[in-house]
Amino acid sequence: MQRKLRMAMIGGGKDAFIGAVHRIALNMDGLMELVAGSFSSRPDVALESGRSLFLNEDRIYTDYKTMLEKEAAMPADKRIDFVSIVTPNSVHFEPAMLALDKGFNVVLEKPITFSLDEAKQLKAKVEATGLSLLLCHTYTGYPMVKQARQLVQNGTLGKIRKIYVEYPQGWLTTFLESTGQIQASWRTDPARSGKAGSMGDIGTHAFNLAEYISGLQVTAICSNLNIVVPGRLLDDDGAALLKFNNGATGVLMATQIAAGEENNVKIRVYGEKGGLEWKQEDANSLIVKWLDKPAEIYRTGGGYNSSFAAHNTRTPAGHPEGYLEAFGNLYRNFALTLLAKINGETPKAEWLDFPGVEEGVRGMAFVDNVVASSAAGEEKWRVFTV
Q: What is the pLDDT of residues 320-353, one digit of tens each?
A: 999 999 999 999 999 999 999 999 999 999 999 9
Q: What is the DSSP letter of 199?
A: I
What does the DSSP assignment read for 291-352?
SSS--EEEETT-TTS-HHHHHT--S-TTS---HHHHHHHHHHHHHHHHHHHHTT-PPPTTTT
Give residue 2's pLDDT band: very low, low, confident or very high (50, 70, 90).
Answer: confident
* pLDDT tens by residue, 6-21: 999 999 999 889 999 9
Give residue 159's pLDDT band: very low, low, confident or very high (50, 70, 90).
Answer: very high
Task: Report the pLDDT value the prediction gives residue 1, as an integer from 0 to 100.
Answer: 67
Contact residues for 251 (Cβ-Cβ < 8 A; gap 6+): 163, 164, 165, 239, 240, 241, 242
Tell me the average pLDDT across 306-326. Answer: 97
* pLDDT tens by residue, 253-308: 999 999 999 999 999 999 999 999 999 999 999 999 999 999 999 999 999 999 99
Mean predicted lDDT score pLDDT of the chain: 96
Tell me the average pLDDT across 88-109. Answer: 97
Task: State whether the Cα torsion 258-261-264-266 is positive or negative.
Answer: negative
| Under 8 Å between Cβ of 2 and 25 | no
The pTM assigned to this predicted structure is: 0.95
Domains of the chain: 5-131 (3.40.50.720), 142-317+362-375 (3.30.360.10)
